[in-house]
Amino acid sequence: MRRRPFLSTSVLDTSTGSTGPSAAGRHLRDGAFGNARNLVCRECGATQELGPFYACQECFGPLEIAYDYPSITRAEIEAGPKNIWRYQALLPVPTDIASSPNMEPGFTRLLKADNLGRALGMKNLWVKDDSGNPTHSFKDRVVAVALSAARELGMTVFACPSTGNLANAVAAAGARAGMKTVVFIPADLERAKVLTSAVYTDSLVAVNGNYDDVNRLASEIAGEEEGWAFVNVNVRPYYAEGSKTLAYEVAEQLGWRLPQQVVVPVASGAQLTKIDKGFTELARLGLVEETPYKVYGAQATGCSPVSAAFKSGHDVVRPVRPDTIAKSLAIGNPADGPYVLDVTRRTGGAVEDVTDEEVRDGIQLLARTEGIFAETAGGVTIATLKKLVETGQLDPDAETVVFNTGDGLKTLDAIADRVGPAATIDPSYAAFTATGLA
């Protein structure tokens, strides 16, 4: 069990503590990972060469990417492509990444949400809407970085265990890159997410079990099959870095500054911790002023192991068996759970959870105030925002960014018995006036 807090400084160390050329490093092409320097253990700080590794050789702790940070200007970033590759210098990808076949995710809209803000009694609210990505969730970001790593590491099969959106993103990106792609999902996944994955691949495998079962199976296959890149398992350190682009984009779209509060959905917790890493990097690089921000995590009560740990003051996350309509967040044993606790506590934020009814309310509230149709994960986040305001945990006057990470068209069942026609009428004016809608 982990005890040590996450020391972000070890990751952000800009000195050149090179580990030198290595066996695995020899057949990597020069610049395969851009400015990434090595892998570093998030528990003990031990470093390791860049390669298909995800667990520390010393302590089995999770690895993440450390960089030789470049000096880079706002203007250089602004001159880049209108997708995540404008931040290439801060990602573990080669400088020519934008020109290889990829989905070109990112640079999604950041909308001022004054109607929603009014409804919640908030003064300065924004929605970062990642439903606008190529396969309609934030997963296109992480998958794009994982795909680059898989290619550079010479891996031949692109794979993942998924709660749904990742399956969409991996299947689509694999198709576009011409990679063999195998995708594993829980058999009880929403029909829309099954179809929107299967359309891209003949190798979709439905597993009788929940996500945590599927994840265990993937780890086993990764151990047996040479050259299989499971994006969120054995190339996870690269994959996770893709989420930093959410932080970069929000800061850039706000005019190069950090928001005061962010509310982020939590499944494995990778996205939340990397948004924090992204903000920290921008301040460290002088691209934004170093202003304080609070990070809040959002979970569904039916799968809220991190929220439970936060509320009870524990730093160990006890696994749960998920039971919620927010299937894209239904990870009962979240890999980054302890780090979510570190980030939310360190920044003065919180982790909250909401019931499935509140999730449905959240979907409807966002749709009716801002015209944005979120999937259940977005419903979780909006409902959590509301709860945080109502319970006084979040400052309604501070500038706040809330993340909608997926598209409601993928989870129609969530609202199917709540919304529909106000009336069904014959095509006559009299019938219409009888509805009272005139």
> Which positions touch ligand PLP (CB under 6 A)?
137-139, 165, 265-271, 328-329, 375, 377, 405-406
**Sheet of strand 110-112: strand arrangement:** 110-112, 125-129, 400-404, 261-265, 294-300, 351-354
400 binds, among ligand PLP, Zn ion, none (CB under 5 to 8 A by kind): none
Q: Which is nearer to Zn ion, 44 or 254 (CB)?
A: 44
Q: Which is nearer to Zn ion, 64 or 252 (CB)?
A: 64
Residue selected from 33, 36, 43, 85 as contacting Zn ion according to rule CB under 5 A: 43
303 binds, among ligand PLP, Zn ion, none (CB under 5 to 8 A by kind): none
Instruction: Name the packing angle between helices 165-177 and 191-198 (round to 10°).
Output: 10
Alpha carbon 432 to its chain's center: 45
165 binds, among Zn ion, ligand PLP, none (CB under 5 to 8 A by kind): ligand PLP
* CA dist list (Å): 250 to 146, 230, 256, 347, 381: 22, 28, 8, 18, 17
Query: Minimum Å distance from CB 315 to Zn ion?
Result: 17
Terminal alpha carbon distance of the chain: 64
228 burial type by CB count under 10 A (0-12 exposed, 13-18 middle, 19+ buried):
buried
254 lines the binding site for Zn ion (CB under 5 A) = no
Q: Which is nearer to ligand PLP, 92 or 269 (CB)?
A: 269
Residue selected from 61, 269, 278, 362 as contacting Zn ion according to rule CB under 5 A: 61
Query: Minimum Å distance from CB 299 to ligand PLP?
Result: 10
Query: Minimum Å distance from CB 409 to ligand PLP?
Result: 12
Question: Among all chains, which residue has been given the structure tokens 């495998």?
Answer: 205
CA–CA distance, 291 with 294 (Å, rounded to integer): 10
338 binds, among Zn ion, ligand PLP, none (CB under 5 to 8 A by kind): none
Single-letter amino acid, residue 384: T
Q: Which is nearer to Zn ion, 46 or 425 (CB)?
A: 46
How long, in residues, is the chain?
438
84 binds, among ligand PLP, Zn ion, none (CB under 5 to 8 A by kind): none
- Which positions lie near Zn ion, rule CB under 5 A? 41, 43-44, 46, 56, 58-59, 61
